[in-house]
C-alpha cells in the first residue's frame, strides 16, 4: 500500500448511507449507494485525523487530529462546514478526546474519565449542558440515540464504575445550570443545511457554562468482565453489550415500545435482559454492535473476521449449539442466524441498508463489503466488494 493511503479510522453516519475515512493523505467522505467519493480534503489543509463524525447528510462534520502528521491537537474538536470550506467551531478539553457523538441538537465528547455534553450548534453560541464522571474508559465508549423522532427515548449509555456495568442516562432529565470547566470558541454561527444560502454572523463568545444531571443514571449489570462494546437501537428501547471476552452479546429491554413518551411525562427506565447470543467460544475483540432500523436483527463484528447476525424477533431462526443438550456443558446463548467473513484482525464498522435486507461493512484495510441477508436462515450472499480508496468521484460517476 503506497504512502499517504493508509486508513487511520472509519465511521458511518447515523443514517447508515455515508461514511468517512481518515487517511494519512487527508479526509475522504463516501456515499454508499452507489459507492462514490463525495468529498476529499487533503492533509495539507486539515492535517491527518484520528476521528471524523458526519452529521447525517449535512454540510457539518466534527474532526479530531491524529495520525502521523496532525495539524490540530488531539484534545481539540473542530467543526468543519463544507459549504463554507472552513472550520466554524472549536472545542478544547483538558485531555485527549477519545470519541464523540454528533446530533442535530447536541455534541457528546468522551475523555478517559468523563463525558461532556454541549448544545449544538448553539444559539448564539454552544453551551455546556453537563459533565459526567465515568469509570476508566480507555476507548471512550459512549452511545446516544440519534434524536430523529419525538417518540424516541433520548439516552446516553456508557461504562459504569463497577466492572461489567453500563450506565443509562435519560437525557430528557438534564437541565442547564452554572458549571465550571471546558471552553468553546464560536468562530461563526454555522447553519445545518445541505446548502447554506445565508452569510453567518460573527461571534466571539467563550462559553464556560454547564449543567447538572437532575436524575441519577440507571445502572445495568451486564457482564462479569469489563465492557468492550455498547449499542442502542434508534428508539432507545434496546441495549446490546459485549465484554472483553467477546463471546456473548447480551440484549436488554430498557423500556417497552408502548411506553415511549409522547405526553411529556417522565418514564422510569427499567432495563431487563431479554436475550443472549453467542458469538463464539474463543475470546475476541468486538469492534461494533448494530441494531437494524426495524429491530428485527442485531449484528456484531470482531477481530475473528466474521460478522454475526442474530434474529431478535424470529429467534427460532438462530442456531443452537450441538452441545446445548449435553449434561454438565453450560453453553448459554443461541448462535447467529447468518454470518459472513471479512479480513481477519481488520477493524471495521457496519450498518444495515435502507432495504432492511442488506448489510455494509467498511474496513480499515480500504475494502467495502455489501451482503444480502438470506431469508429464513439461508446464507448471506455477497452483493458488492470494492476498494473505496479507488472509488470514483461523484461528479465522474455514470449512473446506470
- Segment 173-229, tens digit of pLDDT: 775 433 333 445 444 333 343 333 322 222 222 323 344 444 588 999 999 999 999
Partners of 311 in beta bridges: 297
Sketch out the chain's domains with CATH numbers: 7-396 (2.130.10.10)
Mean pLDDT to the nearest integer, 141-149: 87
* pLDDT score for 204: 27
- Segment 23-48, tens digit of pLDDT: 999 999 999 999 999 999 999 999 99
Pairwise CA distance, residues 130 & 177, whole Å: 9
- Segment 105-138, tens digit of pLDDT: 999 999 999 999 999 987 777 889 999 999 899 9
Average pLDDT across the chain, whole number: 83
- Segment 342-382, tens digit of pLDDT: 987 889 999 999 887 899 999 999 999 999 998 877 889 99
- Segment 228-268, tens digit of pLDDT: 999 999 999 999 999 999 999 999 999 866 655 554 555 66
Return phi, psi of residue 196, to 5°.
-90, 130
Q: Is 28 exposed, middle or buried (0-12, 13-18, 19+ CB in 10 A)?
A: buried
DSSP string, 17-54: SEEEEEETTEEEEEETTTTEEEEEEEHHHHEEEEEEEE
Is the pLDDT at 18 greater than 90? The verdict is: yes
* pLDDT score for 208: 32
Are 26 and 4 a contacting pair, CB within 8 Å?
no
**Torsion angle of alpha carbons 29, 94, 218, 294, nearest 10°?**
0
Q: Give how far Cα 47 sits from Cα of 18, 97, 359, Å.
A: 22, 17, 32
Q: Which residues of 198-233 are buried (b: 16+ CB within 10 A; e: fewer)?
A: eebeebeeebebbbebeeebbebebbeebbbbbbbb
Tell whether omega for the bond before 34 is within 30 degrees of 0, i.e. cis.
yes
Pairwise CA distance, residues 282 & 272, whole Å: 26
Q: Is 76 exposed, middle or buried (0-12, 13-18, 19+ CB in 10 A)?
A: middle
Partners of 193 in beta bridges: none
Amino acid at each position: 500500500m503506497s504512502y499517504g493511503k493508509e486508513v487511520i479510522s472509519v465511521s458511518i453516519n447515523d443514517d447508515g448511507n455515508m461514511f468517512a475515512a481518515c487517511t494519512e493523505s487527508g479526509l475522504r467522505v463516501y456515499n454508499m449507494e452507489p459507492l462514490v467519493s463525495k468529498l476529499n480534503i487533503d492533509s495539507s489543509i486539515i492535517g491527518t485525523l484520528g476521528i471524523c463524525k458526519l452529521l447525517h447528510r449535512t454540510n457539518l462534520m466534527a474532526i479530531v487530529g491524529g495520525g502521523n502528521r496532525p495539524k490540530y491537537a488531539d484534545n481539540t474538536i473542530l467543526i468543519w462546514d463544507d459549504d463554507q470550506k472552513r472550520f466554524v467551531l472549536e472545542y478544547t478539553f483538558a485531555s485527549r478526546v477519545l470519541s464523540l457523538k454528533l446530533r442535530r441538537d447536541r455534541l457528546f465528547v468522551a475523555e478517559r474519565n468523563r463525558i461532556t455534553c454541549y448544545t449544538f450548534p448553539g444559539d448564539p453560541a454552544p453551551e455546556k449542558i453537563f459533565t459526567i464522571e465515568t469509570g476508566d474508559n480507555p476507548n471512550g465508549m459512549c452511545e446516544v440515540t440519534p434524536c430523529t423522532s419525538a417518540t424516541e427515548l433520548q439516552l446516553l449509555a456508557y461504562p459504569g464504575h463497577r466492572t461489567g456495568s453500563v450506565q443509562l442516562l435519560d437525557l430528557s432529565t438534564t437541565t442547564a445550570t452554572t458549571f465550571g470547566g471546558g471552553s468553546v470558541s464560536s468562530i461563526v454561527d454555522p447553519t445545518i443545511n445541505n446548502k447554506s444560502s445565508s452569510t453567518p454572523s460573527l461571534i466571539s463568545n467563550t462559553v464556560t457554562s454547564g449543567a447538572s444531571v437532575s436524575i441519577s443514571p440507571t445502572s445495568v449489570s451486564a457482564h462479569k468482565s469489563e465492557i468492550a462494546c455498547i449499542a442502542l437501537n434508534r428508539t432507545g428501547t434496546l441495549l446490546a453489550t459485549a465484554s472483553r471476552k467477546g463471546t456473548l452479546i447480551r440484549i436488554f429491554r430498557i423500556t417497552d415500545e408502548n411506553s415511549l413518551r409522547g405526553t411529556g411525562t417522565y418514564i422510569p427506565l427499567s432495563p431487563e435482559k431479554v436475550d443472549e447470543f453467542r458469538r463464539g467460544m474463543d475470546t475476541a475483540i468486538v469492534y461494533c454492535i448494530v441494531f437494524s432500523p426495524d429491530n428485527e436483527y442485531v449484528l456484531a463484528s470482531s477481530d475473528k473476521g466474521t460478522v454475526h447476525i442474530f434474529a431478535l424477533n424470529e429467534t427460532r431462526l438462530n442456531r443452537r449449539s450441538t452441545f446445548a443438550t449435553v449434561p454438565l456443558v453450560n453453553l448459554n446463548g443461541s448462535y447467529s442466524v447468518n454470518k459472513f467473513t471479512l479480513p481477519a484482525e481488520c477493524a471495521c464498522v457496519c450498518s444495515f441498508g435502507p432495504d432492511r435486507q442488506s448489510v455494509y461493512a467498511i474496513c480499515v484495510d480500504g475494502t467495502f463489503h455489501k451482503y444480502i441477508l438470506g431469508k429464513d436462515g439461508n446464507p448471506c450472499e455477497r452483493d458488492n466488494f470494492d476498494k473505496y480508496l479507488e472509488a470514483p468521484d461523484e461528479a465522474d460517476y455514470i449512473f446506470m
